[in-house]
Amino acid sequence: MKVVVCENYDDLSNKAFEVIKEQVVEKPNSVLGLATGSSPVGMYQDMIKDHKENGTSYKDVSTYNLDEYVGIDRNDPQSYYTFMNENLFSGIDIDPNNTHVPYGNTKEDCEKYEDAVNGVDIQVLGIGQNGHIGFNEPGTPFDEPTHIVDLTENTREANARFFDNDINKVPTQAITQGIGTIMKAKKILLVANGANKADALKAMIEGDVNIECPASVLQKHPDVIVFIDKEAASKLSK
């Protein structure tokens, strides 16, 4: 696991973008695993800016998103399907048919998405305040495939800011790639910023590998790079 402490959010976003660009330039038909949330937005903005200014093309790239809320319409302003279109897909030349966001609430929906996710070259991750990756909450088995998860109150509180700060509007379930799915990616790129992520990052990087901090499993992946700002790194001992 390579940890890079960056000056600020813009710096970490740009460094993460450079990893994505190098991958896409070297392999134009790359498969990218993508994440939502505030952490990767800066990286997506850099991807759009570079595409418009330098012509970096994503026309042969395929993408698979980590997760989606259950019980929310795809076109809802707070759906992750909408988020990806607004924050990335509409700004680059990717074929909409090559973009995939999980959807549904059944075991069959999970199995179908699990089977579809294949050969991910780089999986982008954020990290939750409780150490979750995707929507894999503490206690999730490390070999879990794509599944339906009950969201913890902690996670719903953290996401309430997107729902008029009303936790009652936040969905109670999500469909998510499992930790087992995530770990199949050839390379993992995790981005995080802010002091509220410091405890989770310390547990992920320096703690024991334990299902109580789902992200700690990344210690066992052969190729992980972590870009964090100084606040997020503030509790690391080295």
Catalytic one among 46, 132, 144, 159? Answer: 132
51 in catalytic set: no
Q: Which residues contact 119 (CB under 8 A, 6 or more apart)?
A: 31, 186
List 50, 67, 121, 229, catalytic entry? 67
Q: Which is the catalytic residue, given 65, 87, 130, 159?
A: 130
pTM: predicted TM-score of the whole model, two decimal places:
0.94
Task: Give the integer Cα–Cα distance in Å for 194 and 211.
Answer: 23
Catalytic residue among 46, 121, 137, 229: 137
Known catalytic membership, residue 130: yes
Write out pLDDT tens, residues 172-204: 999 999 999 999 999 999 999 999 999 999 999
Based on the residue annotation, tell me whether 100 is a catalytic residue of this protein.
no
In angstroms, the CA 109 to CA 229 distance is: 37
Element (H, E) at 9: helix 9-26
| 137-140 LR contacts (CB < 8 Å, sep 24+) | 137/214, 138/211, 138/212, 138/213, 138/214, 139/211, 139/212, 140/178, 140/179, 140/211, 140/214
What pLDDT, in 10s, does the model give residues 102-137?
999 999 999 999 999 989 999 999 999 999 999 999
Q: Among this protein's residues, is 54 annotated catalytic?
A: no
